[in-house]
Chain A
């Protein structure tokens, strides 16, 4: 029996670099990792802004921005090994792009296509999941199968604070704990589920406590501290069995481009969180350590611009959609009735 103390999260969120860019004294990842976290966050934020812009031009049906949550998006992905699997949600396009999935493929679904765009097996990234919390169970199943097959694979599943209220989250935490499945549940607590604040979502002092009841090691971390998220996920991947990590962060933009966040949250709250920005604090830290200078920062901005331009160009190209393909993958082999419907559509 594991002792309760070993499972409990800390009362205060763990952190390595504070909002002002000061190191807090813990073991920091190596400098090249810190630089890579920074680089990917800058590139990721630019991608995110580009995707939002594409909705205004009618090139994307909808886009849920993760601006402000880059430390979670990038920290988790950089901590993952090649053999691990990512189970993302609609919010996590930046994480998926960071796992080297081509951006135009990542945006397929949001541009209104009928499929997820990328090959999940090629990148070890499940399709972006919209039915909340359902992906948690897929992650547990995949990880348990890996264990049965003797593979060293960990599943990292991303979910939001709202999703922790869904039944599937609880079934997944329980199954993972009972099976000792190698799963990392990373809860990006951004304070809102669309318009509903955390206070209406839970009475628990921390979402991390939800793991403890199932016998799972749980952590509470500063979710705007990329070094911390990276370290926590890396530790969780290296440890036996599952871990629940609650990362405290904030969604700077509205829920999606179609949402109006001024209806449910005060602007001074947004201002406060802008002061806790994950990119600015790491930049301050890196500059103070002279790991980053103006020239390097400019090169990085140029790189991010270049990548965004490539996304823009690709997304501005019209894709041919063939309605006949709608029938191709419903079953492994199209049924006679589907073949007949396809022919009807074609004629």
Chain B
């Protein structure tokens, strides 16, 4: 019997299994020990694996990532937790100047298999500084891999793959999906760390989503059935590198695309997706590619966040604007 599992539970299982399988793996950050993390992702791990492998650090994010770099130089595999998206910014210099570059600066001699876990995005009624979608800061940095799961089973798979990966990985956890459950067998096998997957097949339009918006896009695809649109949903999983093969194959088939993300639209991650697709699929497109994204404002307060987050209605509105009549 497989029990329904939440994304939080799947991430916890992935950490536990990685700690069991590989003695080089360490888990550390703020409150990850006795408390099990503010989102309980590391629940029970310190008790099970001891405080030399799972431990609380002093409260300093640059310190956490900077020391993880030194530990990786000495053969360990650190998996560190940033408490919230916006609280990872103090570590930005260590991430962009060192974590991303050391392999290159040493001509491949010193790789850094470090995973930086970042709970990100909104939708949980967080107060300011607790809801940022910070993916583009990281995807703009060569040398980093940036991944984000959309489902519990994929959260397990991607985290195991990230920990096994020889490159540094920014692992973005869509915190509003932590508690959604899915009945699934947890396994690291399946699509590789750098592949996108088609979550729902359809022939008329491709919705491209990732992290927290995968579930929203799937919901929109179901609702679209009523309008007689046969909607395909691609879950990117890997934001960097970008899986051109899977995405362009879908787009060439459907000819219509909407990119959905929570982050602000202006120079957001969707801009890169749109640019790549028009470069590679121009002659297959039946309509301009549209984006459904967050507003270009600092993340709004809990009472107003529903206006910022992509909703099923906003996605369907965008689908409706894909110049269907021109084709009739």
Contact = CB atoms under 8 A, between A and B. Distances in A.
Nearest to A113: B107
A336 B244 CA distance: 9
A265 B98 CA distance: 34
B104 A137 contact: no
B103 A329 contact: yes
A119 interface: yes
Given A131-B93, A131-B98, A167 B104 contact: no
A174 interface: yes
Contacts, number: 138
B66 A138 contact: yes
A1 interface: no
Interface residues of A, number: 41
Interface in B97-131: 97-98, 102-111
B71 interface: yes
Nearest to A153: B74
A148 B70 contact: no
Contact of B108 (A146, A175, A329): A329
Given A145-B74, A146-B74, A140 B106 contact: no
Contact of B63 (A149, A171, A335): A171
A308 interface: no
A332 B111 CA distance: 8
Interface in A313-344: 325, 328-332, 335-337
Given A137-B62, A172-B63, A336-B244, A116 B70 contact: no
A159 interface: no
- A interface majority secondary structure: helix
B8 to A, nearest CB: 28
A336 B94 CA distance: 26
A175 to B, nearest CB: 5
Interface stretch (B52-60, B178-186, B211-219, B306-314): B52-60
Interface in B63-85: 63, 65-76, 78
B156 interface: no
A171 B60 contact: yes
A143 interface: yes
Given A138-B98, A141-B73, A175 B62 contact: no
Interface of B: 26, 52, 57-58, 60, 62-63, 65-76, 78, 90, 93-94, 97-98, 102-111, 142-143, 145, 165-167, 194, 241-242, 244-245
Interface of A: 114-116, 119-121, 126-127, 131, 134, 136-146, 148-149, 153, 155, 167-168, 171-172, 174-175, 178, 325, 328-332, 335-337
24 contacts: A115-B107, A116-B107, A137-B62, A137-B65, A137-B94, A140-B70, A141-B70, A141-B71, A142-B71, A144-B70, A167-B62, A168-B62, A171-B58, A171-B60, A172-B66, A172-B67, A175-B60, A175-B63, A178-B58, A329-B103, A331-B103, A331-B143, A331-B145, A337-B242
